[in-house]
Amino acid sequence: MVERYYVVREDLLPEGILKTELAKELLRRGEASTVHEAAERVGLSRSAFYKYKDGVYPLEQMTRERIATLSMDLEHRSGVLSQVLGTLAQSGGNVLTMSQSIPLQGMANVVVTLDIAGLTGSLTELVDQLKAMDGVKRTTVVGRS
């Protein structure tokens, strides 16, 4: 299923969606320490919060924060990971987290989570560029938000 997005004026949104964003804002600012507390303060049930929390964002946050997680199998050779990270940086991606498995039989799995808001091209182009690199055996997008 393809995700579709709409821009909707605030006064047209149902109350539950608006209160969910208010609760998320309280959590982001540290004015509430738990979902229960934030939901209670804005007059929202926790079930409604969890129903909407992953689908409602202020427009400015959606345009600012785009995150993708890539999984790559790399040959265990000096410089391969460095070249991958250089390519990510040159493309405008900003590494948020990175995890590498212990190399087995000359290969290591690397999972990188990137802020892709500043990419100079598309995510597909970046993945294709990584796949074409010497020492990169597999690259897939395993998550995107």
pLDDT, residue 6, reads 76
Cβ-based neighbour number of residue 58 at 10 Å: 12
What letter does residue 31 receive in the DSSP assignment?
S
What letter does residue 108 receive in the DSSP assignment?
E
Reported pTM: 0.57
Residues in contact with 124: Cβ distance below 8 Å, sequence separation at least 6, in sequence order = none
Residue-range domain boundaries for the chain: 10-63, 65-144
- Classified by CATH at the fold level, domain 65-144 comes out as Alpha-Beta Plaits (3.30.70)
Three-class SS state of 140: strand
Of residues 70, 68, 58, the one with CA closest to residue 5: 58
3-19 b/e with 16+ CB inside 10 Å = b?
A: eeeeeeeeeeeeeebbb
Residues 13-41 pLDDT 10s: 999 999 999 999 898 889 999 999 999 99
pLDDT, residue 61, reads 57
Residues 106-131 pLDDT 10s: 999 999 999 888 888 888 999 999 99
What are 114's two structure tokens? 């990137």
Q: What φ, ψ does residue 94 adopt, rounded to 5°?
A: -120, 115
